[in-house]
Amino acid sequence: MARHVLTNHPDKVEEWIRGKKVTVGNAILWGVKYPEVERWLSHLQKRDENAYRLWRFCQWAKRSPPELLSLKEKNPEQNLAEKLLDDFCAAKLPEFTEPQRFNVSIAVKSFFKWNYRSLEKASGIVTLEKVKPYNALTKEGLRKLYNHALNPRDRALIPFVTCTGIAKETLSNVLWGHLEDHWEDKDLPCLNIGPELLKGHGKGKYQGVRQVTFLTPEAKTSLLVYKEWIEDKLGRAVTAKDHIWLETYLPCKPLRYPMFHHAIRRLSRKTGVPFSLHDGRRWVNTALEGISISSNWARKVRGRKVRGEEAPYSQPAIEQLRTKYREAVPALEFTSETSRAVEDRLKAVEEVTGKLARHEPLEKEDYEKIDRFSIKLFRKPIYGKDEPSEDERKQIEKKDAEADACADGHCPEFSQIPEAQLLAHLKDGWQIIKELSNGEVIVKRVQ
């Protein structure tokens, strides 16, 4: 029976529930007959999971949700509700793991809170000992996840979560409109997310919290490819009010919260690389720590409350944050693997051209580098004490002629381009070799 039929006809719930096993997927239907549960769930994002946790507690306590609340009304000074929750947390229950008891306790306290019968803070304490260590992410592992993604959406999702630090609760609600205007032309596009989508939903101590974060160039490129792909599926351009992350099959509805977990888990199992969406958040935090960013600025990027600062989300403040964030980009990016040979070539080019720029003479090892790495010279060399042989001199002159043929800087094999032209080059069969600090990119033709 469809959920909307049950929620509109509470009298049919008992008939449906009878003989059915309550699960995470249907526990919310158990709660619709209780106004107290509906009131509570209306304030939450993960409604299914929390409804199931409350149901499990009610089963253990042998009380209905209204009966639980009544414990706070009868002899409140005896703290019967708190003691009941403490008994649950202290009991050795084989059907509950420690994390499950922890989550049930949180759900029960939340249920009482949103029905204006808050439990004492000291009640329902479950101390968790971390048994499994956090996933040790590496660029090689992230690159493997990226390269094995099944579609442009999943391929864009990996660099997106590992550069923005957006929490998994927010991903299902983030819109294209959260990106700044003309973001396609920005080197580090900004996402500005309001408090209603963040932890606390802007209420109480979370009032006024915003998340100001950025896309790295590689995340932007992957997002542009995904955008073009999803627009082709939709048969129209996306709008500011469209969700960014959609299902990959028509009619391409917004991707629901649980589906993010399933997509990432499937990819992780396929590649053998342990990864979760929250690992992406830790990846961002580690990179920010590496550039010694101020705690307030780091909290802005992560979408946490900023302390002791007024108007922290003005445009000048965002530009200052963008400038600082740029320092973390090398630590955040992982999709393009620069091979050892390419690294050696770039180093050799820098050394040889550096000598020419300083009008220093070239030595024999420099000639070897010119020949080995096919370095194209734009200045006539000054020969040092180890003057090249006739053959070596001819090779150098040949490379000079090649350099003259592409003096505009766009040689047949390599090219240095503005980042805005990158997408067009990638479609034409070019590959990223190195991203420069000035925002431009060195690419190599591979097709």
pLDDT tens digit sequence for 212-266: 899 999 999 999 999 999 999 999 999 999 999 999 888 999 998 888 888 899 9
Indicate the domain borders of the chain. Answer: 3-113, 139-332, 338-407, 409-447
pLDDT tops 70 at residue 169: yes
For residue 425, give the nearest of 407, 436, 441, 409 by alpha carbon.
Answer: 441
- Asked if CATH classification 1.25.40.10 holds for the domain at 139-332, the reply, yes or no, is no
pLDDT tens digit sequence for 97-132: 888 889 999 999 999 999 999 998 888 887 655 555
Among 129-133, 254-258, 293-297, 440-444, the range scoring the smallest mean pLDDT is 129-133
Confidence tier at 336 by pLDDT (50, 70, 90): confident
pLDDT tops 80 at residue 79: yes
Average pLDDT, stretch 5-10?
46
Which one has a higher pLDDT value, 270 or 6?
Answer: 270
Average pLDDT, stretch 205-212?
71
pLDDT tops 80 at residue 337: no
